Every structure is written in C-alpha cells, then in structure tokens.
Homo-oligomer: A and B are copies of this chain.
C-alpha cells in the first residue's frame, strides 16, 4: 500500500475528547471516526487490526470444534419474552417497532437467539456436546458510552454457546474455552491478561470468569492476592478476615447525639474513629417489599452484588430504601441493640464479627449507644461477607494479608449458564433411556474492538502504538528519506517494496512528500513492527536501516539481504506471541 493513498489522516494534536490512551491514539492515528455517541466507523488501519484479531479468534474457536454461524442483530420481543429478559433487562436493551408495529429489539447478546436456533438441532443426546460461535454486530444502548472503543453502543463481538447433557461435560468445555481464551490473549500480544472469578449478573448461571487486563484505564476493580494468586472482580471478591479495630470490651452507654445522623457528624461529635463506629444501610426488596437492614462497620462499604447474591435476588430488585413516615424506622439512629423491626431481614457483615466495642444507633431519635458488643448485647448472630474487600483484608484462600486492588478492563468473559435459558425456552433432548431432558449451556464472549483498544492500553505509549506483530496493520513500513527528491532513494524503496510484497508481506511505503519528523511520527502511529529507513547516508554503503519493534538498536542491512532479513525478523517476532 502506498501511504499517499491510505485513508485515515493522522492528526497533529492529541485529541481533546480522548479520555484514555487508546482512545487518543485511535483518533490521532486515523483508525476510527466517531459517527454518534458510542458509535464508530473503523477506518482501514483499524479494520486491518480487527480482521487479524478476528482471524486469531476464529482459529482458536475452530480448534476447539466450535462451529461458526451468524445470527441476526434484530430480534423480536417475542423471542426475548421466551426467557423473560424483555422485561427484566433495563433500557440498555434497545426496543423499537418495525413498520408493522411488531415489537423488536437490537440484540445485545444472543442466548435467546442461540437456544431458538438450536431447538431442532439438539434433539438426541448423541449430538452433544456441541458449540457454536459467531463474530457479529451487537448493540447495547449504554447510558454513558466512554473511552473510545472501550465502552461503545454498537460493537462486534465473538460470542459462543455450548450445549451439554451433564455438568461434567460443561466443566470440560468450559476449560477448553478457558484455554482458548488464554491462547487468544497471548496471540494478540497481551498474555498478561488474568482470569478472575466474576458475578454471573443478568446472565444467570453457576460460575463465571472474566478475563482482565490490569491497567489504569480499566473501569472494573480487581482484587488479586500477591501471595497465592487468588483473583476476583471486586463485585464478588471475598475476604477471610478483616482486621478488628476494637479489641477491648466496654460497658454499654447511651449517649445523647441530637440531630447527629451521618457517620461524619457522629465522628466529629464524638471524636471516635470511623472504624470504631457501626452503621446500618437500609434497602428495600422490590419483589417482596421487605426491608433489608445491613449492619456493617462504618469505614466499610456494602458490596451490593454480594448482598444480592446472598439474598438470591435479581439485579434492580434491591434498592436503597427511601425514608417514609410511619414505617417504624428511626432513620439515622438504627442499631442492632433493641431493634424492633418485625418483617425486616437483618444482615450482619463480617466486619463486625470480632469487634468488642462499637458505636451504633440506639433505635431512638437523637441517641446512640457506645460500647456495643454484638454477641453480648444482641446474642449469637451469623455474619456474612457483604462488604467491599479492602487492601488491608486477609486473602480468603491463603489467609495472608497481601491483597492488591487494581483497575482492569474486561477483555472477555465465560459463564456456566446451566439451564437458565434452555429451561425457560423448553429446549429438550432425548437421553439414552428415551427420556426427555433439558440440556445445560455455557456462554463465552470477547468484544473485538475493545480487545484492540486494550492491546493499546497495554503496549502503547502516548506517541507510539507498538502493535504486536500478530495484529499490526502492516508487517513492514518503508520510510524513505526524500522519496520525492532523491531518485536513488525512490528506486531502492520501490524495489524493496515490490520484493517484500511478492513474498506475501503486508507492506506500507511512505511515498508522501513529508519531513522526516512527520514520516517517523506517523510511522509510530501506524506501528508496523519492522521499519525500514531508506536514506542516502546508508545507500552509499548499499545499506538500509532496519528497526525491529522491541529492540533498542536499529541494524544496517545490505539492500540485497533485506527480504531475508525481514522474513527472519518477522518469524522471530511471531514466536514471541505464538
């Protein structure tokens, strides 16, 4: 490709709208063009990178015998009613009507479509297990699209679905996908991706992992134990034990705290450290309309995902309780001692377990209790881990105090769905004994555009994209100095270009009339892993300068040996990711 013809103009300035590195580089390098909020066009450079990523994904999927299909983006409400998700999913599911007033959706995921497609496929146990996948467009009407390709509304995703007649079969396939995913991340150049236990959220199911690239731009919080490697999304990270802040018992004492309702006010008023105060966080279930009171140490936060999982309640069905008159709750002064809350569910967080003397509300307006010892003053209660893990907590696996909390980008996820969709949609197979059974499922997703952006977050600097060789838009970038002015430079550059092209390499030749500064700055934004600088200074010695990605020094290579040198260098680079 001649660079003068390449669509995708580079920009001189760092784009103002870029919130993170990958976003800025993709805009500055002419990879993407924003069409609307969270909606982008991929220009040729990005399309080339994405195609290479897709091919790697496709190879890894085919290797584990997943079969490629293509399902539609547009689906009927009727299909989503079959699983109940038309009602249970929020407004990120885009709903609309077609010309005949039929209610439709833009699919944000394809569990329903897959089960519907497979209803007639998995009739006999002999067909199982089987897996299908697609690389396909989805739409998710995000409230806040952000960070370029990291959180968009329209995106390409590889989603796969496996079908099984037993839990053992699902576990085995899950492991295969787990390995295939690790292969994919290694092959696209980010083998540092880690798998963490995650919440199953709106997908349902019995087990799940997210693949996380740890980096500042990530919007997830990931807990990792430096000692044993335990890792989990903050949403479902647990702790074994929390350092206590009160070790000595005190007698119970009622104190007057007129109009002191918040922890901060209480701390100011009493001078007692926040971690020696207990608080009540009050929720309402929207299904049973019951009140849920969580008692937790005041320096900790409730982890609502863990709380929902404990209560076995759907997303969006547990909300902070609004103050109401006549509901018998002494808002601002709720505590565990002498609590009169018939019908409410009381949850004691693990952070209270070993505390000997806390301040709590006295269940009476304008009063608190000092010296609360729950086991003494309330009796034996069960403690549950519903607080957000903190760095200072103990690892639930190795019990060491070496947890770290990092930001992470989710670059893939895998779920054991169980029978959530097959049951509601009445998919059946006939087993060995002629009996009808419900198959179980797994599902496995990777967002392709987000993966491309994540590679930049991991590998790029503010000036240089540094694509791994396996997904770089071009294998080789020829950067002549004075191409338009120096006939010899032009001839040799063209000759090298044609030789490399004839070897099947993807080569870009900068045939523009630009300064060396612009040529190299643009080359940094395109990021071919092998760069050949053709200039008069070295041509007098029959040489060109070759710079290999990841190597500090460039090498002078005789012009007759360029093709062989480049092919060998590329093989070496590929070895690092394969």
Whether B69 contacts A35 by the Cβ 8 Å rule is no
Question: Which residues of B sit under 8 angstroms from A91, Cβ to Cβ?
Answer: 99
- Residue A130 lies at the interface, judged by CB distance under 8 Å to chain B: yes
Whether B141 contacts A99 by the Cβ 8 Å rule is yes
Whether B65 contacts A50 by the Cβ 8 Å rule is no
Q: How far is the CB of A511 from chain B (nearest CB, A)?
A: 11
Whether B72 contacts A40 by the Cβ 8 Å rule is yes
Q: Residue A7 contacts which of B48, B72, B130 (CB distance < 8 angstroms)?
A: B130
**Contact code string A57-76 (vs B, CB < 8 Å = 1, else 0):** 00000000101111111111
Question: Which residues of B sit under 8 angstroms from A70, Cβ to Cβ?
Answer: 41-42, 46-47, 50, 156
- Residue A285 lies at the interface, judged by CB distance under 8 Å to chain B: no
Q: Residue A98 contacts which of B75, B113, B137, B141 (CB distance < 8 angstroms)?
A: B141
Tell me, in angstroms, the Cα distance from A106 to B75 when the chains sit together: 13
Q: How far is the CB of A434 from chain B (nearest CB, A)?
A: 17
- Residue A118 lies at the interface, judged by CB distance under 8 Å to chain B: yes
**Contact code string A103-138 (vs B, CB < 8 Å = 1, else 0):** 010100000010011101101001100101000010
* Chain A interface (Cβ < 8 Å from any Cβ of B): 4-9, 33, 35-37, 39-44, 46-48, 50-51, 65, 67-76, 79, 91-92, 94, 96-99, 102, 104, 106, 113, 116-118, 120-121, 123, 126-127, 130, 132, 137, 139, 141, 143, 153-154, 156
A-B residue pairs in contact (CB < 8 Å), sample of 26: A4-B126, A6-B67, A7-B118, A7-B130, A9-B120, A33-B120, A35-B76, A35-B116, A37-B102, A39-B72, A39-B74, A41-B72, A42-B69, A42-B70, A42-B71, A44-B68, A44-B132, A47-B68, A50-B70, A51-B68, A73-B139, A74-B154, A91-B99, A92-B99, A94-B98, A137-B137
Tell me, in angstroms, the Cα distance from A48 to B48 when the chains sit together: 21
Q: How far is the CB of A131 from chain B (nearest CB, A)?
A: 9
Known contacts A69-B42, A70-B42, A116-B35, A127 near B5 by CB under 8 Å: yes
Q: Contacts A35-B117, A137-B137 given; 19 further ones with Cβ under 8 A? A: A4-B126, A5-B67, A6-B67, A7-B118, A8-B121, A9-B121, A35-B71, A35-B113, A39-B72, A39-B75, A41-B69, A41-B70, A42-B71, A44-B67, A44-B69, A50-B70, A92-B99, A94-B96, A98-B153
Quick one: closest B residue to A154, CB to CB? B72
Tell me, in angstroms, the Cα distance from A91 to B51 when the chains sit together: 34
Question: Which residues of B sit under 8 angstroms from A7, Cβ to Cβ?
Answer: 67, 69, 118, 121, 130, 132
Q: How far is the CB of A536 from chain B (nearest CB, A)?
A: 25
Q: How far is the CB of A213 from chain B (nearest CB, A)?
A: 23
Q: How far is the CB of A336 from chain B (nearest CB, A)?
A: 41
Whether B94 contacts A127 by the Cβ 8 Å rule is no
Q: How far is the CB of A450 from chain B (nearest CB, A)?
A: 15
Whether B96 contacts A96 by the Cβ 8 Å rule is yes
Whether A154 contacts B50 by the Cβ 8 Å rule is no
Question: Which residues of B sit under 8 angstroms from A69, Cβ to Cβ?
Answer: 7, 41-44, 47
Whether A117 contacts B43 by the Cβ 8 Å rule is yes
Q: How far is the CB of A331 from chain B (nearest CB, A)?
A: 33
Tell me, in angstroms, the Cα distance from A286 to B91 when the chains sit together: 40
Whether B106 contacts A74 by the Cβ 8 Å rule is yes
Question: Which residues of B sit under 8 angstroms from A72, Cβ to Cβ?
Answer: 35-36, 39-41, 154
- Give the most central of A4, A70, A130: most B CB within 10 Å: A70
Question: Which residues of B sit under 8 angstroms from A5, Cβ to Cβ?
Answer: 65, 67, 127, 130
Quick one: closest B residue to A95, CB to CB? B96
Tell me, in angstroms, the Cα distance from A151 to B287 when the chains sit together: 45
Whether B71 contacts A73 by the Cβ 8 Å rule is no
Whether B44 contacts A139 by the Cβ 8 Å rule is no
Known contacts A7-B132, A127-B4, A130-B5, A35 near B75 by CB under 8 Å: yes
Tell me, in angstroms, the Cα distance from A98 to B98 when the chains sit together: 14
Whether B117 contacts A73 by the Cβ 8 Å rule is no
Q: How far is the CB of A513 from chain B (nearest CB, A)?
A: 9
Whether B143 contacts A33 by the Cβ 8 Å rule is no
Tell me, in angstroms, the Cα distance from A41 to B120 when the chains sit together: 13
Question: Which residues of B sit under 8 angstroms from A50, Cβ to Cβ?
Answer: 70
Whether B33 contacts A99 by the Cβ 8 Å rule is no
Whether B76 contacts A73 by the Cβ 8 Å rule is no
Tell me, in angstroms, the Cα distance from A270 to B456 when the chains sit together: 84
Question: Which residues of B sit under 8 angstroms from A104, Cβ to Cβ?
Answer: 36
Tell me, in angstroms, the Cα distance from A143 to B74 when the chains sit together: 16
Whether B9 contacts A139 by the Cβ 8 Å rule is no
Tell me, in angstroms, the Cα distance from A221 to B65 when the chains sit together: 45
Quick one: closest B residue to A143, CB to CB? B99
Tell me, in angstroms, the Cα distance from A51 to B135 when the chains sit together: 12
